[in-house]
């Protein structure tokens, strides 16, 4: 049996999810120099929000996504009002915010543990059924993941490229002070970026839990991978990190299949180290960090 | 002593230093001048081992140091001071010099716990030599620029070098301070029998100290010879000093226009009263007052580090004033957020362009009109800007990061114009540009003035604005020390001499 098509299907699905998670992380880093360590916890939160919307509130499954987006965006906004607002502008912002968001991540994970308990739950927000792609059987859920992720990524990229808010976000990322002089309310831009990133994380959390299971540490592993991909691509480089996500997902899938599951992360990390020795600013990074 | 043979340093396609050859004789001072971006600091970086050279050869006393590391070169007897103030901020001045004395003289793979008598003695001697012995007990972060510069010199000579490289030892200092540094350098060179290479923009300083002068332009040697010959060299005068550098009195009709427009205007568009502002508990501006009448061009001039940018940043709300008031018409804008001040039509074109590098020229311009909602207004302004700055239309879809310095400056001004504000504040529009480009920029400024716009402009070099400005204020250490018309300024060579070092 030829295994390559199966590996490809897995890689594309996982890559799509990774890239969605990476997109949010990269956006926040690029726009405001903030490494949001609570990004993983936001993924988890999104997954549980969708779960509750469908099981407790009894909504139809597509509304799970809506619930996740709302909760994720609200939590992103909370990060701004509760944290970023006070720390922004201090000289040590970039390091302080890492510590602070690690704290938020731990707290959020434990709140979820308190409410939902530690036992894994099944994600109801998913498509049943299979279809055949040539000879290869593919779960409909995998298709949903890929289509949704790619659609969202194009939407975000399109918004950043062409819309006024997108231009304001890029301007703020590239030169905050100049953006302020143009009349851009940079603080509200930061709020919007955090909300968008929260929503992106929540959606990727729903997708992720639909092919694994819901558990409080759900987001930790993807967060680590998303971080790796951001660094490989060059921090803040959104398009590059999406590409890196797919490539690394493919590498991971191959390694896991041919060498065994436990070799996935080590091989990934070795590749990352080699890539960074070769290109210290990231594979797509330039010496001068390009943002957004 | 030091021999450079066809030294070349490239950054990608750009040759910062190209095929440069020169020699320095022992005991002499070689002065290197040239416009910004000529490759002077890069040359120092290459010679002192901070940057690897692309090709060529550097020898110090016959030893090839082309590829030696910076600490090895230092131990071979080459010391260097930096353009910016490279000190260890939390240490006192004395400790800074001690570190240099201890580590700079020879290789200390395993630093000991004590400094040793010899190190102490050399430290005190060096501090004495630069006249900093009494002032060396304070942490460097609180020291004024002059003291930092002197400490850096002390830190360099304490390593007992044979050759001392000095990168802009008097950059950003006042004329009085420049004289002080000059005396110190003269003393150091004589007592220590040092060989010196110094980079400096302040020509007076450069010419007085140097035994030989080398003028660089675009990474190559433009001139090498005796200091007296520099001002006779036509090429140098044109490239370095610029064609417009000789002050000529303004034509009489310009004066008439000036007086007329001041008289015509009523209430000032902007008035600054008793303004105090600064950074981190230190005031840079102390009680500044002036007015900008509608339709006028008001200029503040003063050396670097005397509060010009601070003033504009305070008006535009990037900095909060610590005292006094800023009014637009009758309304106080002190303490308002920047976007509110921009919305009132007070638009700052920041120093050094601050473009959005990964956006096209068009996108940069559109950002300028961020607060404008009406699309037809935006299109109209875009046409206006293209009419004033036609180059920007050609470059519309080019990334801002790929533009030349002059083009960037134009995008910066164009972006400011796109806001459609009532007052345009320009922060050193000539900074870092070649004289011929400065001429172009000032033609644009003259056009803007002619079209009736109100402009507040700050500059270090007053030469280009004397013919344009209705009123010129001289800024010295955060105070306005003189005000008058551009005409009066150009006639008062004494003032120029005192505050701008001639």
Instruction: Give DSSP secondary structure letters for B358-410.
Output: TSBHHHHHHHHTTT---HHHHHHHHHHHHHH-HHHHHTTTSBGGGS-HHHHHH
Q: Is the dihedral of CA B444, B449, B454, B458 positive or negative?
A: positive
Distance from CA of B344 to the nearest CA of A (A): 10
Residues 6+ apart with CB under 8 A from B48: B70, B73, B74, B78, B80, B165
Q: Label residue A244 by pLDDT band (50, 70, 90).
A: confident
- On whether the CB atoms of residues A196 and A73 are closer than 8 A, the answer is yes
- On whether the CB atoms of residues B317 and B341 are closer than 8 A, the answer is yes
Distance from CA of B55 to the nearest CA of A (A): 22
Q: Which residue numbers of B have CB closer than 8 Å to A's CBs?
A: 316-318, 337-339, 342-343, 347-348, 350, 354-359, 363, 366-368, 370-371, 415, 419
Sheet holding B323-328, edge to edge: B282-293, B268-279, B323-328, B331-332
A170 vs B contacts (CB less than 8 Å): 356, 358-359
Distance from CA of A226 to the nearest CA of B (A): 24
A183 vs B contacts (CB less than 8 Å): 338-339, 342-343, 370-371, 419
Chain A residue at shortest CA distance from B12: A287
Which of A88, A91, A174, A181 is the best substitution to test chain B (most B C-beta atoms within 10 A)? A181
Is B337 in contact with A185 (Cβ distance < 8 A)?
A: yes
Chain A residue at shortest CA distance from B414: A182
Is A168 in contact with B370 (Cβ distance < 8 A)?
A: yes
A179 vs B contacts (CB less than 8 Å): 356, 367
Partner B contacted by A91 (CB < 8 A): no
Dig out the tokens for B116 from the structure. 């040793």
Distance from CA of A168 to the nearest CA of B (A): 7
Q: Label residue A52 by pLDDT band (50, 70, 90).
A: very high
Region A227-255: mean pLDDT is 84
Distance from CA of A90 to the nearest CA of B (A): 12
Q: How far apart are CA B2 and CA B23, in angstroms?
A: 6
Look-up: residue for tokens 């660089």? Answer: B216
pLDDT at B315 (0 to 100) = 93
> Is B132 in a helix, a strand, or coil?
coil
User: What string of pLDDT tens digits covers the 502 residues of chain B?
Assistant: 888 888 888 877 677 888 889 988 888 899 998 766 678 888 888 888 888 888 888 888 888 888 888 888 888 888 887 766 666 777 887 888 888 777 766 555 566 666 677 788 888 888 888 888 877 777 777 777 788 888 888 888 888 888 888 888 887 677 778 888 888 888 888 888 888 998 887 777 888 888 898 988 878 888 888 887 877 777 776 665 444 444 333 343 444 444 444 444 456 899 999 898 887 766 788 888 999 999 899 999 877 667 888 899 999 999 989 888 999 988 899 889 999 999 999 999 998 889 998 899 999 999 999 998 899 999 999 999 999 999 899 889 999 888 888 889 999 999 999 998 899 999 999 887 877 888 889 999 999 998 889 999 998 777 777 778 888 888 877 788 888 887 777 776 656 555 444 3
Is B348 in contact with A181 (Cβ distance < 8 A)?
A: yes
Partner B contacted by A292 (CB < 8 A): yes
B316 vs A contacts (CB less than 8 Å): 181
Burial class from Cβ neighbours inside 10 Å (0-12, 13-18, 19+) for residue B365 reads buried
Chain A residue at shortest CA distance from B343: A183
> Is B116 in a helix, a strand, or coil?
coil
Distance from CA of A171 to the nearest CA of B (A): 6
Which of B313, B346, B356 is the best substitution to test chain A (most A C-beta atoms within 10 A)? B356
B347 vs A contacts (CB less than 8 Å): 181
Is B356 in contact with A171 (Cβ distance < 8 A)?
A: yes
pLDDT at A287 (0 to 100) = 45
| A231-256: burial string, b at 16+ Cβ within 10 Å, e else | bbbbbbbbbbbbbbbbbbbbebbbbb
Is A175 in contact with B355 (Cβ distance < 8 A)?
A: yes
Is A174 in contact with B357 (Cβ distance < 8 A)?
A: yes
pLDDT at A88 (0 to 100) = 83
How far CA B159 is from CA of B102, B162, B164, in Å, comes to: 8, 9, 10
Distance from CA of B347 to the nearest CA of A (A): 7
| pLDDT of A288 higher than 50 | no
Phi and psi angles of residue B16, each rounded to the nearest 5 degrees, phi first = -75, -40
Partner B contacted by A95 (CB < 8 A): no
Extended beta strands in B148-194, E state: 163-167
Q: Label residue A228 by pLDDT band (50, 70, 90).
A: confident
Nearest CB to B371; choose among A175, A183, A291: A183
- On whether the CB atoms of residues B176 and B205 are closer than 8 A, the answer is no
Look-up: residue for tokens 């290459």? Answer: B46
CB contacts under 8 A, A 170-199 vs B, are: 170-171, 174-175, 177-185
Dig out the tokens for A89 from the structure. 């502008």
Q: How far apart are CA A142 and CA A16, in angstroms?
A: 10
Give the gyration radius of chain A's Cα atoms: 19
Q: Which H or E element spans position B115?
A: none
pLDDT tens digit string along A198-210? Answer: 999 999 999 999 9
- How does DSSP classify residue A121? B
Which of B316, B349, B370, B417 is the best substitution to test chain A (most A C-beta atoms within 10 A)? B370
B348 vs A contacts (CB less than 8 Å): 181
Q: How far apart are CA A253 and CA B420, in angstroms?
A: 56
Nearest CB to A183; choose among B343, B350, B355: B343
B419 vs A contacts (CB less than 8 Å): 182-183
Burial class from Cβ neighbours inside 10 Å (0-12, 13-18, 19+) for residue B67 reads exposed
Is A167 in contact with B366 (Cβ distance < 8 A)?
A: yes
Q: How many CB pairs under 8 A join A and B?
A: 67
Alpha helices (H) in chain A, listed in sequence order:
4-32, 39-55, 62-79, 85-87, 93-116, 140-162, 164-174, 176-181, 186-211, 220-233, 238-259, 264-278
B354 vs A contacts (CB less than 8 Å): 175, 177-178, 181
Q: How far apart are CA B77 and CA B73, in angstroms?
A: 7
pLDDT at B262 (0 to 100) = 43
pLDDT at A134 (0 to 100) = 77
pLDDT at B228 (0 to 100) = 79
Sheet holding B454-459, edge to edge: B346-349, B423-427, B454-459, B297-301, B471-476, B479-484
Q: Percent of chain A scored above 70 by pLDDT?
A: 96
Is A171 in contact with B338 (Cβ distance < 8 A)?
A: no
The closest alpha carbon to B58, from B235, B250, B197, belongs to B197
Chain B residue at shortest CA distance from A179: B367
Region A14-23: mean pLDDT is 89
pLDDT at B176 (0 to 100) = 77
Is A181 in contact with B342 (Cβ distance < 8 A)?
A: yes
Is B371 in contact with A164 (Cβ distance < 8 A)?
A: no
Is A182 in contact with B348 (Cβ distance < 8 A)?
A: no
- On whether the CB atoms of residues A250 and A11 are closer than 8 A, the answer is yes
Q: How far apart are CA B276 and CA B314, in angstroms?
A: 9
Chain A residue at shortest CA distance from B357: A174
Is B354 in contact with A175 (Cβ distance < 8 A)?
A: yes
Q: Choose the weakest-confidence range: A64-78, A172-186, B296-310.
A: B296-310
């Amino acid at each position: 049996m030829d295994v390559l098509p199966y590996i490809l299907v897995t890689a594309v699905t996982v890559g799509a999810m990774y890239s969605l998670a990476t997109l949010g992380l990269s956006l926040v880093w690029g726009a405001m120099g903030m490494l949001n360590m609570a990004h993983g916890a936001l993924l988890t939160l999104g997954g549980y929000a969708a779960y509750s919307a469908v099981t407790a509130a009894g909504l139809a499954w597509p509304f799970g996504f809506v619930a996740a987006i709302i909760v994720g965006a609200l939590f992103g906004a909370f990060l701004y009002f509760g944290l970023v607002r006070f720390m922004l502008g201090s000289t040590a912002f970039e390091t302080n915010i890492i510590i602070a968001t690690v704290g938020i991540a731990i707290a959020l994970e434990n709140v979820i543990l308190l409410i939902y308990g530690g036992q894994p739950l099944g994600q109801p927000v998913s498509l049943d059924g299979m279809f055949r792609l040539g000879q290869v059987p593919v779960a409909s859920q995998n298709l949903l993941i890929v289509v949704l992720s790619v659609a969202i990524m194009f939407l975000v990229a399109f918004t950043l490229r062409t819309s006024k808010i997108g231009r304001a976000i890029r301007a703020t990322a590239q030169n905050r002070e100049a953006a302020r002089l143009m009349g851009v309310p940079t603080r509200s831009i930061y709020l919007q970026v955090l909300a968008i990133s929260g929503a992106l994380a929540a959606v990727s959390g729903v997708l992720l839990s639909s092919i694994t299971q819901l558990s409080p540490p759900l987001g930790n592993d993807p967060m680590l991978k998303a971080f790796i991909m951001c660094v490989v691509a060059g921090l803040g480089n959104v398009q590059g990190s999406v590409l890196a996500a797919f490539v690394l997902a493919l590498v991971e899938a191959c390694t896991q299949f041919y060498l065994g599951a436990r070799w996935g992360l080590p091989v990934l990390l070795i590749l990352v180290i080699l890539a960074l020795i070769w290109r210290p600013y990231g594979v797509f990074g330039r010496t001068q960090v390009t943002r957004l | 002593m030091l021999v450079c043979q066809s030294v070349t340093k490239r950054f990608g396609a750009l040759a910062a230093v190209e095929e440069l050859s020169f020699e320095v004789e022992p005991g002499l001072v070689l002065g290197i001048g040239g416009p910004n971006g000529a490759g002077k600091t890069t040359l120092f970086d290459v010679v002192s081992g901070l940057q690897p050279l692309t090709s060529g050869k550097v020898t110090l006393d016959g030893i090839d140091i082309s590829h030696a590391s910076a600490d090895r070169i230092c131990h071979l007897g080459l010391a260097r001071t930096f353009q910016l103030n490279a000190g260890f901020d939390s240490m006192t001045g004395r400790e800074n010099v001690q570190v240099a004395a201890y580590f700079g003289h020879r290789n200390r793979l395993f630093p000991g716990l004590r400094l040793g008598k010899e190190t102490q003695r050399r430290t005190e001697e060096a501090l004495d030599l630069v006249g900093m012995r009494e002032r060396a007990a304070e942490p460097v972060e609180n020291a004024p620029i002059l003291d930092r510069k002197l400490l850096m010199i002390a830190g360099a000579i304490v390593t007992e070098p044979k050759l001392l490289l000095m990168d802009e030892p008097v950059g950003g200092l006042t004329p009085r301070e420049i004289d002080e540094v000059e005396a110190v350098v003269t003393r150091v060179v004589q007592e220590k029998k040092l060989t010196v290479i110094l980079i400096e923009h302040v020509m007076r300083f450069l010419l007085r100290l140097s035994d030989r002068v080398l003028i660089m332009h675009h990474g190559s040697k433009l001139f090498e010879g005796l200091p007296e010959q520099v001002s006779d060299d036509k090429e140098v005068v044109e490239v370095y000093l610029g064609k417009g550098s000789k002050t000529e009195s303004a034509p009489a009709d310009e004066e008439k226009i000036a007086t007329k427009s001041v008289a015509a205007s009523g209430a000032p568009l902007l008035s600054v009263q008793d303004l105090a502002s600064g950074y981190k508990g230190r005031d840079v501006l102390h009680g500044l007052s002036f007015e900008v009448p509608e339709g006028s061009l008001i200029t503040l001039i003063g050396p670097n580090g005397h509060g010009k940018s601070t003033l504009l940043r305070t008006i535009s709300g990037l900095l909060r004033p610590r005292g006094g008031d800023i009014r637009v018409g009758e309304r106080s804008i002190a303490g308002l957020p920047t976007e509110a001040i921009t919305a009132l039509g007070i638009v700052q074109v920041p120093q050094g362009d601050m473009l959005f590098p990964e956006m096209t020229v068009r996108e940069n311009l559109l950002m300028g009109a961020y607060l404008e909602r009406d699309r037809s207004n935006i299109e109209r302004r875009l046409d206006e800007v293209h009419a004033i700055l036609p180059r920007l239309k050609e470059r519309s879809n080019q990334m801002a990061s790929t533009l030349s310095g002059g083009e960037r400056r134009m995008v910066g001004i164009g972006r400011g114009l796109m806001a459609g504000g009532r007052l345009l504040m320009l922060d050193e529009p000539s900074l870092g540009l070649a004289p011929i480009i400065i001429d172009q920029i000032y033609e644009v400024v003259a056009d803007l003035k002619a079209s009736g716009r109100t402009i507040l402009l700050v500059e270090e070099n007053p030469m280009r604005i004397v013919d344009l400005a209705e009123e010129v204020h001289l800024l010295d250490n955060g105070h306005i020390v003189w005000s008058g018309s551009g005409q009066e300024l150009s006639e008062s060579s004494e003032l120029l001499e005192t505050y701008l070092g001639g």
